[in-house]
Amino acid sequence: MLRRIRIALLGLLAVFALMMPALAQSADQRVIATDPGPPGYEIDSYVTATLPALSGRVVDAAGVLDPANRKALVTRLEALEAATGDQLVVATVASLHGNPIESYANRLFNIWKLGQKDNNNGVLLLVAPSERKVRIEVGYGLEGTLTDAVAKLIIEQSIVPHFRAGDFAGGIAQGADDVAQVLTGGTTQWQRHAAADTPIRDERALARGEVIMYVIFAVAAAAATFAGYILLWFFLRFLIVLHLLPQRNHRNGFWRLLDKVDADLYDTHGRRIPRHSDASHSSDSSGASVSSSSSFSGGGGSSGGGGASGSW
């Protein structure tokens, strides 16, 4: 009985030994190790085949960017690297081949050797549309600036909303812009919002709202001032016409300001210009006198016979 048990155990060990290489190969095909390993570490040929080549600052293996968007994005990334020395690369992949995006992004980052060697200041924005995954992988040299909390905030508030709407180009562009903003001096603002877990978009919207409200207030104030000036002008004019304010020939000092209100009522010599009603009245009176003279006639008598005369 013991002999049979020993033979069975030896057989199982032999089968297990034969299966080990196949199991190891299968594991290598399904998992990309997170640990990049020591310098010179070589990865499995299958894993290498699943990674796209670094062909530029934008590697759109998933084909979600059109030429115009890709060109604009490359220009932004070039400007960032020229200004700070930090290297930001955007990559999209058709598939993660069953691997977690964290492992895939980490391995891709290390294979591409992003950032300067001495500063380790590279950043990878990786998008996997088919798996609906996105990750911002940060080099050790920038972890104090582009923290995990800030990277999460950018993903959740800048990238994901665009992606949910089907706007991959917009989400990638916004995410790249926000990363660039953090790396070019916006660290404090983003870290404050990340620590408080508050939307940074709200602050930007509030700032834009304050500007709009200021413009509206300024326009309203100007309109109110103009309307008030017009109402005051008509009110003073009304009081002058009613002789409740000093007339032109009786103004001195402060009252001389009223000359601007009723200037159109006087000619250059300071004489009152007759109003239309006055002119009409004068014309009517003159006409009545002429009419009376021309229509007058005697009673029809001849030469007079009586009278008186005198001399001295």
How many Å is the maximal CA-CA distance in the chain? 194
pLDDT reported for residue 183: 92
| CA–CA dist 230, 233 (Å, integer) | 5
pLDDT at 139: 94
pLDDT for res 247: 76
- pLDDT computed for residue 222 by the predictor: 85
Please give the model's pTM, rounded to 2 decimal places: 0.52
Are 177 and 76 spatial neighbours (Cβ–Cβ below 8 Å)?
yes
CB-based burial of residue 158 (10 Å sphere; 0-12 exposed, 13-18 middle, 19+ buried)? buried
Q: What is the CATH number of domain 45-198?
A: 3.10.310.50
- Nearest to residue 166, comparing CAs of 266, 235, 248, 64? 64
What pLDDT does 309 receive?
Answer: 35
pLDDT of residue 40: 35
> What is the per-residue pLDDT for 263?
72
Determine the pLDDT at residue 202. Answer: 52
Show the tokens assigned to 193. Answer: 């919002």
- For position 174, what pLDDT does the model report? 95
pLDDT of residue 39: 39
- Amino acid identity of residue 67, one-letter, is P
Q: Determine the Cα–Cα distance for residues 284 and 276; give it in Å rounded to an integer.
A: 12
Nearest to 261 by CA among 283, 239, 291, 284: 239
Other CB atoms within a 10 A radius of the CB of residue 22 amount to 9
Q: What is the pLDDT of residue 236?
A: 75
What is the DSSP code string of the chain? Answer: -HHHHHHHHHHHHHHHHHHHHHHHHHHHHH---SS--STTPPPPHHHHHHSPP--SSEEETT--S-HHHHHHHHHHHHHHHHHH--EEEEEE-S--TT--HHHHHHHHHHHHT-S-TTT--EEEEEEEGGGTEEEEEE-GGGTTTS-HHHHHHHIIIIIHHHHHTT-HHHHHHHHHHHHHHIIIIIHHHHHHHHHHT--HHHHHHHHHHHHHHHHHHHHHHHHHHHHHHHHHHHHHHHHHHTT-S--GGG--GGGGGGGGTSGGGB-TTSPBPPPHHHHHHHHHHHHHHHHHHHH----S------------
Q: Would you give per-residue pLDDT tens digits along the chain (312 residues)?
A: 556 665 666 666 666 566 655 554 444 444 444 444 433 334 444 555 678 999 999 999 999 999 999 999 999 999 999 999 999 999 999 999 889 999 999 999 999 999 998 899 999 999 999 999 999 999 999 999 999 999 999 999 999 999 999 999 999 999 999 999 999 987 777 777 777 665 655 555 555 666 677 778 788 888 888 888 788 877 877 777 777 777 777 777 777 777 777 776 666 555 666 655 454 444 444 444 444 444 444 444 444 444 443 322
Strand order in the sheet with 133-138: 58-60, 87-92, 122-128, 133-138
